[in-house]
Amino acid sequence: MGSGDDAAHRLRDLPAVHELAATLDAPHALAVAAARIAIDERRETLMQHGGADEIDLAKRAAELLDQLEAPSLRRVINATGVILHTNLGRAPLAPAARAALAATAAGYTNLEFDLAAGERGSRHQHVEALLRELTGAEAAIVVNNGAAAVLLAVAALAGPGRDVIVSRGQLVEIGGGFRIPEVVAQSGARLVEVGTTNRTRLRDYQRAIERSGSELGAILRVHQSNFRAVGFVEEVGTESLCGLGVPVIDDVGSGVLAQSATLTDEPSIRGAVAAGAALVCCSGDKLLGGPQAGLIVGSSDAVAAAREHPLARAVRIDKLSLAALEATLRLYRDPVRARREIPVLAMLDAGEAELANRAQRLHELIGDEHAEIVRAVAKIGGGALPLLELEGPALALAGAASAVEIARALRRGEPPVICRIHEGRVLLDPRTLTDEEVEPAAAAARAALA
């Protein structure tokens, strides 16, 4: 019998989907789906390559069933050295935030209920006092992400038919195609560009204010979070803009609350408030180290306008994110504790000895044959401090397979380990690993190298 005849014979012998599904211990729909995929895979192999290779269809269907039953959103180990990795969910939460989230998810909460008065309350009350305390602002609200915060702020202070002045050097695009001009357009306001890409002066704003007259709504200042313009450049600071007598919206991006030598090039929320901005916007899941959220702090009148705007309900924060954010903000009351317990800040502060110890443990668990301690550079990521390089030790892996194949095997392990490839070698960076993740990361590396 020729190979073609053999393949045709094997095709005829493939079981019916319902027959293979009956061998699987699973709900009918899932069993049928797994069986159909397994049979389709086998049919494709036979049609393309003949019948030389034999597989256990029942075993393959069981493997596929496990994949179908597994959750799509899964915990992964971040060994990339990118602290705020947007694709991996940005900031990991502090233990206190995780505990608050779990407690809130366990049952009902007083999300919008005033326990003292026994009547409806506001979800913003759970964090407003904390934000006032930590930033010096008169009032505050929170929404579901940083982009929503900027959109709501512009809509509230300008809105349809009014002008918003922005420097051309600040018409930025961040990840996911979020562009400042499009956000302003969605608010209904008219964008008025001033200055040039590299230089904008105070008189540029003054001229635009004179031209807009009574149609002017606000000045929007946007932090160039994920890039830097260097050389022949000039921009106007928040305090100088506030001196023009026009409401200023300051999008500071990453939400810096902690004082640190590492973060001196990132604008702080408190600094923008002190400079006199009407509204200050930032993300909650970047350098603040909390859940996805958008913070808006500022003057009482400006925050009230944002709170009362129809968009406020469309972009409001949910109870789980709110619980995690409140717990994160509470940690900032003790700066030393915040730097120790908020993972993003702890990773930024990690010293050479701590990183070297973690790298050595990884090395010992993986073995000399396949791992070598090298020097590497970690990054903050998340659109923060793009020029900052955090040097430290890392593990370089080498085996019979290529770097791409090893990285693929790491991603497909359990738990998945996400690495980076540098100069043709797989690197595991201990800066973004916790002490508890060292052993499972090493086990995944050994399996991938095997």
Give the Cα separation of 198 and 192 in Å (integer). Answer: 17
Q: Assess whether 207 and 254 both reside in one domain.
A: yes
Q: Assess whether 380 and 331 both reside in one domain.
A: no
Q: Assess whether 307 and 361 both reside in one domain.
A: no
User: 């506001």: which residue's tokens?
Assistant: 122
Q: Assess whether 27 and 60 both reside in one domain.
A: yes
Q: Which two tokens stand for residue 364?
A: 């010992």
Q: Phi-psi region for residue 295, left (φ > 0), alpha (ψ -120 to 50) or beta?
A: beta
Q: Assess whether 336 and 269 both reside in one domain.
A: yes
Burial class (CB in 10 A: 0-12, 13-18, 19+), 352: exposed
Q: Assess whether 146 and 260 both reside in one domain.
A: yes
What number of other Cβ atoms are within 10 A of residue 43's Cβ?
13
What SS3 state is found at 228?
coil
Q: Which of 68, 103, 122 is the last residue of a domain?
A: 68
DSSP H or E stretch at residue 192? strand 190-194
CATH code, 116: 3.40.640.10
DSSP for residue 369: T
pLDDT for 50 equals 64
CATH code, 429: 3.90.1150.180
Lay out the sheet containing 163-167: strands in order across.
Answer: 139-143, 294-298, 279-283, 248-253, 216-222, 163-167, 190-194
Q: Assess whether 302 and 322 both reside in one domain.
A: yes
End-to-end CA distance of the chain: 38
pLDDT for 265 equals 80
Would you give the distance in Å from CA 331 to the centre of its chain?
20
Q: Assess whether 185 and 241 both reside in one domain.
A: yes
Q: Assess whether 212 and 314 both reside in one domain.
A: yes
pLDDT tens-place values along the chain, 450 residues long? 455 567 677 788 889 999 999 999 999 999 999 999 999 988 888 887 765 566 789 999 999 999 899 899 999 999 999 999 999 999 999 999 999 999 999 999 999 999 999 999 999 999 999 999 999 999 999 999 999 999 999 999 998 989 999 999 999 887 667 789 998 999 999 999 999 999 999 999 999 999 999 999 999 999 987 778 888 989 999 999 999 999 999 999 898 998 777 887 889 999 999 999 999 999 999 999 999 999 999 999 999 999 999 999 999 999 999 999 999 999 999 999 999 999 999 999 999 999 999 999 999 999 988 999 999 999 998 878 887 889 999 999 988 899 999 999 999 998 999 999 999 999 999 999 999 999 999 999 999 998
DSSP for residue 56: -
DSSP H or E stretch at residue 218? strand 216-222
pLDDT for 176 equals 66
Bridge-based pairing of strands 190-194 and 139-143 is unpaired
Q: Assess whether 173 and 81 both reside in one domain.
A: no
Q: Give the range of the structural domain holding residue 216, as residue numbers without chain letter.
A: 95-341
Q: Assess whether 222 and 326 both reside in one domain.
A: yes
Contact yes or no for 34/21 (Cβ under 8 A): yes
Q: Which of 321, 341, 361 is the last residue of a domain?
A: 341
pLDDT for 450 equals 85
Give the Cα separation of 436 and 75 in Å (integer). Answer: 14
Q: Assess whether 327 and 371 both reside in one domain.
A: no
DSSP H or E stretch at residue 191? strand 190-194
Burial class (CB in 10 A: 0-12, 13-18, 19+), 171: middle
DSSP H or E stretch at residue 375? strand 371-381
Q: Which of 326, 341, 356 is the last residue of a domain?
A: 341
Let me know the angle formed at the C-alpha of 213 by 207 and 219, rounded to the nearest 5 degrees.
65
Alpha helices in 286-421 (DSSP H): 300-308, 311-314, 319-331, 335-341, 343-349, 352-366, 403-411
pTM value? 0.90
Domains in the chain, number: 3
pLDDT for 383 equals 77
Would you give the distance in Å from CA 249 to the centre of its chain?
23
